[in-house]
Structure 1
């Protein structure tokens, strides 16, 4: 049942707000600062603002984390190796972090990044993060058609008149996000908008890759830029070209055939690179996007409005989940001769 609650102000001429019955019971607004943007980068600080069902702040929490490696872009997050030397390791804060996420929807700005970094840290620690859904405030602002010049956090903050005090400090970024999320949530409720919730699938299998610093930190060699001032010093990973021609679309109920173009969308229970490696070793072509030539899309969330899912629908590309794909990988048919 829907609950009628009073409007926020007596001066508000809008009708009383009827809160949608299907909205979540609580949220964890999260921000993490990291050593970079790659899969083997680490968290250096984390903050959580816990909100109730209507976006009111319950409490907040912040910690720094020793990443056990170079802290990366200190000119952005301000955390040096010296400052992090005595900070706790991630496994030491994992339980408290999890307690603040448990039973809530994870909210973040560009939530796939924060969730991916958190999921990887828990996988490294051989622990499971208690999050089952996430909400990206970028996706929500698009659903609400907010008049923003772009979808940066500072633009969203300016729209709601929220003042940023320390940009790229996890605690202040989380505070700003919590303050802009509340009016966005109420606007969504007033418009009866379906929240853009996505499933979070914790990693069940993880393998640390070799981390190498190509040239001692200079600008040459393997330095790889990620934009927004972020950088990491890992060589770019390139997959070998698939040696087989594309045999066409996958036919449901039949075997995969070497050379098929496979795209993967959303969270996977096996680390994405491991899953892609297995597909490549089986003779499949891993595609970064979906086109008319794509043989198959693998996703655990076929209802998500991601670009890959939407294109797959438009092109009629077959869609299966990770479990079915993993089974099919065990018996891939050889490429046709000639």
Structure 2
């Protein structure tokens, strides 16, 4: 007895580039499920951590700060297989999306039954239903009066392609030219992968999870050698300040601990000023402090019973990373990511300033220029290991006086 058809799974992926055989990877997946008549029955989307640079950000607008919270493909492969199983897979330019999704499953040693001939490509079928239709998704949606806002977001584009497919089904009036694919898809063998329990992650997650910079930099706060018990007290202070408040109970605990380890008022005053100064150094982003981080510093100063002007003084005394850093003629500079200006332009500007563009990050490289300072590229990982400064393209151009 044949399995009843489930309907469709409309997919869209955002990727690091155009060629999986050139090590390009999926970085976002959107899936919209439709029943056989075209009604939406479910949707799902997540960013995917590719473990490498994100490629052309000007197209997909995905930032590494969000990606670093995202699951790897292997952690969501079971979920994706379950969402596509038994359904005709559809997409706008299905050949592209199927190639990348299949490639990700292949990396895991699994085979996905994905191919343009067993799915529905809304781009390929557009001229059949709308003879004047252009090729791109936005143009087809405009002609079919399908909403598309936020193009190049995987779920937004999957919803738009699902709208196109629903439009085609309505125009077909029951005479769907690919009806046989519904039966074929119902019996297709998808890999039986376990559900890893990974949580889907959407764009903007870094603003939610990383908004409070204290929680991100406390593990990099410097040790305080004198007095000997200072680190113990400051470690307790680290924990207390994570929720940006000091309750009366916590204040009592700090006072009692300070007294128990022999820290006097003068010791605490100096430690609190030094603590604020260390936070000020950590708050600097590309040589400047954002208004949001300044506000947090003022809040911390208040908790430490320091006046608001102590924040201004701490920032003024802080040596900005690039006040002291200078590139010298002949220094090697490496680049990672796809910046707006383009790699060729940046390398040409480096040469004109007397520097030497270098294809790899080695210990001899003086600086790494990144399109996204939070990049996950291999070059950035090596730069962090070697202690090589990483700057944005804007900072690099300022350093070179261009």
Question: Normalised by the size of structure 1, how large is the TM-score?
Answer: 0.51
Equivalent pair of 1:102/1:130 in contact (CA under 8 Å): no
Distance 1:143 1:197 in 2: 18
Instruction: Check conservation: 1:105, 1:131, Cα contact below 8 A.
Output: no
* Aligned equivalent of 2:169: 185
- State how far apart, in whole Å, the 2-side matches of 1:57 and 1:99 are: 17
Paired residue total: 191
Question: Partner of 1:93 in structure 2?
Answer: 76
2:112 counterpart residue number: 129
Among 50, 60, 76, the residue aligned to 1:67: 50
Q: Is the 8 A contact 1:102 1:131 kept in 2?
A: no
Work out whether 1:166 is the aligned partner of 2:147. no
Which structure dedicates a bigger proportion of its chain to helix?
Answer: 2
Structure 2 match to 1:153: 137
* CA separation of 1:94 and 1:163: change in aligned 2, threshold 3 A: same
Name the CA distance, whole Å, in 1 between partners of 2:179 and 2:119. 10
Say if 2:93 and 2:122, in contact at 8 Å, map to a contact too: yes
Q: Determine helix, strand or coil for the equivalent of 1:220.
A: helix
Aligned residue for 1:163, secondary structure, equals: coil
Cα–Cα, structure 1 residues 203 and 182, in superposed 2: closer, same or farther, change >3 Å? closer
What CA deviation, in whole Å up to 9, does each residue of 1:109-158 have, x standing for no partner?
0100000000000000112335572111112112224322x121111111
Q: Report the CA distance between 1:163 and its aligned residue.
A: 2.0
Q: Unpaired runs of 5+ in structure 1?
A: 1-22, 205-213, 224-233, 235-338
**Equivalent residues in 2 for 1:290-329 (5 A)?**
none
Distance (Å, rounded) in 2 between the aligned partners of 1:202 and 1:193 = 23
Structure-1 residue corresponding to 2:16: 35
SS at match of 2:343: coil
Q: Which of 127, 136, 140 lines up with 1:142 in the alignment?
A: 127
Say what the alpha-carbon RMSD is for the aligned residues.
3.3
Alpha-carbon distance change, 74 to 99 in structure 1, aligned in 2, over 3 angstroms:
same
Q: Which residue of 2 aligns with 1:56?
A: 39
Larger Cα Rg: Structure 1 or Structure 2?
A: 2
> Any idea what SS the aligned residue of 1:126 has?
coil
Alpha carbons 2:98, 2:114 under 8 Å: kept = no
CA contact (8 A) 2:141 2:147 kept: yes
Instruction: Give the match for residue 272 of structure 1.
Output: none
Q: Say which of 43, 52, 61 aligns to 1:78.
A: 61
State the secondary structure of the residue aligned to 2:27. strand
Greater relative CO (CA pairs within 8 A, separation 6+): 2
User: How far apart are the structure 1 equivalents of 2:91 and 2:180?
Assistant: 12
Instruction: Give yes or no for contact 2:53–2:336 (8 Å, CA) kept in 1.
Output: no
Distance 1:25 1:99, change over 3 A: closer
